[in-house]
Structure 1
Amino acid sequence: MIEFLRDFQNMSMYLAYNTNVDAIIYLNEKHIQTLIKEFGAENVKKRMQEYPREINEPLDFVARLIHALKTGKPQSVPLMSYEVDKWFNSRFEHGVERIGGQVGIIANLLANLDFKKVIAYSPLLGKKQAEMFVRRDNLLYPVVENGKLILKKPLEAYKEDDPVKINRIFEFRAGMRFNLGNEVIEVPYSGRFIVACRSEEFARVETSSNFKPYLPEIGEMVDGAILSGYQGIRNHYTDGKNANYYLRKAKEDIKLLKKKKDVKIHVEFASIQDRDLRKKVIFNIFPLADSVGMDEAEIAHILSVLGYRDLSDRIFTYNRIEDTILGAKILLDELNLEVLQIHTIYYLMYITHRDNPLSEGDLLKSLEVGTTLAATRALLGDIKRPEDVKVGLNIPFNEKGEYVKLRLEEALSKMRTREYKIVITPTRIVKNPVSTVGLGDTISAGAFASYLSLLMRKGAY
């Protein structure tokens, strides 16, 4: 771990596109029972069966929240109604406000780990958002002045008139019990339910026209780029633009970043409820990326739109390692990825082709960086300096770790995997986490950065 932290001090990373403010609400049994009483248990059950993909009225929110609590799995659902936004303000008080969005979370993490340079870009940068970035000399925002690219601290670069996106994060804890009519539900795992603001002004995933020509220069000065936020794109916009327009722009960005140097690109995938939009993002963005990170639910969603419905259903229903490996092989080959990283509650997985320059041992070390950073964040709530990772190293791997390794060995003995390198490490799990928001982003950022550092050590990048 110390070797990786030393490597990070000589590494630079570019991040785009999504930042927001996370307003965190810590749920308790009283919150939940009050909501069920207000809307009626039978109405909630009926709407749960309908499984709304968007929040257009309060009952949609309650139904998806109860579903998340029942399964104990983290979920994110877009909020489409301004009226419901006002309803939230009348029902819940924010416990904490902090930086959110994959770019915001990862930028602060990497800056606090003493990366040489972290360049974080978001199309909108309001003052409140700028104030939430850590005030470190290595965390910078790109601006163009007098025809030249300049890197400034976020607080020196914000725009007074830019709006700030606010997402509501409902944190829940394992062991919470409540009644849904005659059914008693106990939450199996700690997690979070995200009500993601999808106002149109925040749904334009693009690089500003004055900054875009300088992306080749950015690509030259960094060792890697982490791109995220594609889940915010809409099918249609009031000005006549559509998802195809913004995806073309996003593809241009990646090609420009790679124009002068073949910089490695990692895409952090997040759940996209709309099936057609999910398909467009997958086919347009993934083939241009070198690395992609996702959880097991997201891999199932992707397999579904690729036409592997039965396999997708098996992953959702049984969550077996062999099904996840089969799905990962399909994604790696059909989308021409260099490496796929999957994070689940109990394990992290890498799958690459056999000709990858890193050994299985190297890949395992990289995954262990990811789970150690995530455990540190879960226990402390944040990582503020490199020394904090000592805490994560003292957190044991989860109790199913040996079982996970055994299941991997069984799966590899039955499957055709000679063309691949597949490694799994158990996760380090904190029983009572301060927060679960951003743990997947932390895993992916730590794994991707350590993957790059290993490639550089071997002279393969």
Structure 2
Amino acid sequence: AVASISDIPTDIPIHLELASMTDQDFMSNIVHQQVFPLVNSIGLNEQELLFLTQSASGPHASLASWSGVPDVGIVSDILFWLLKEHGKTAERASDLTRIHFHTLAYHILVTVDGHGGNQVAAVAAGARAAGTQACATETIDTTKVFLKAPLEFVTSQIEAPAKISLNPDEPVVHWHREGVSFHFTPVLVCKDPVRTVGLGDAISAEGLLYSEVYPQ
């Protein structure tokens, strides 16, 4: 995989969509053996995020499983660690500048400052795709969806956190942490899902469609 990715011209952005895994050594190899530094963007869900931090001894690695809706502060800590440890910096030869995290109740788009753009539209588009794809509708049908996201949350469980309350008029929330930007949006969850196969792919693809991977 590393050899194939290395053959792609450097001006073509590469997105890696993770999937469920059970082999921690394999996951650790993906993180450490030159796969993450070769891609510009990663997409993953809560199970993959937790397995990743357990495999690579990241923050909250002792957490065995999620209880209900994944805690936003814990998710934020792990995403921050991924970009700080494996993302692009002035000292590190890595192309990784973007992570699109998606879980049932909410999405978070995390980017290294100075890379990418249009994050508000991108994360909102991914959340919209989740509702329409799962319900098999062209647009969001408010009679078929419900809100499951926390209306209040803290942005970290490690550092001094900020407490955020959702505003329905501006559902995409932004915060910043040491050169990393976070964009959070709730998802209108389909009550009776019709199509769930490939949902993560559809979410990430829609987000990428609206993203500006390189500064304009």
- TM-score, structure 1 as length reference: 0.38
Does the alignment pair 1:269 with 2:28? no
1:254 aligns with 2:14: no
The residue type equivalent to 1:353 in the other structure is: V
Structure 1 residues 315 and 393, CA gap change in structure 2 (3 angstroms): farther
Kindly state the Cα deviation for residue 376 of structure 1 after the two structures are TM-superposed: 1.6
Moved over 4 A (4+): 393-397, 408-412
Partner of 2:81: 330
Distance across 2 between alignment mates of 1:420 and 1:395 = 36
Q: What's the % identity of the aligned pairs?
A: 24
Alpha-carbon spacing, 1:420–1:398, altered in 2? closer, same or farther (3 Å): farther
Alignment of 1:1-400 (within 5 A): 250-258=1-9, 261-284=10-33, 285-308=35-58, 311-314=60-63, 316-318=65-67, 319-336=70-87, 337-358=96-117, 362-380=118-136, 389=138, 391-392=139-140, 398-400=146-148
Distance 1:416 1:441, change over 3 A: closer
Where is the helix percentage greater, Structure 1 or Structure 2? 1
Equivalent residue for 1:427, pick from 187, 190, 196: 187
Question: What displacement does 1:353 show?
Answer: 2.1
**TM-score, reference length from structure 2:** 0.77
Q: Distance in 1 between matches of 2:155 and 2:74?
A: 14
Tell me, in whole angstroms, the C-alpha distance in 2 between the residues paired with 1:396 and 1:451: 28
User: Using CA pairs below 8 Å that are at least 6 residues apart, which structure has the higher relative contact order?
Assistant: 2
- Specify every segment of 5 or more residues in structure 2 that has no aligned partner in the other structure, as ranges: 88-95, 164-174
The alignment partner of 2:185 has SS state of strand
Partner amino acid, structure 1, of 2:79: A
* Structure 1 stretches lacking a partner, 5+ long: 1-249, 381-387
Q: 1:283, 1:410 → 2: CA distance? A: 25
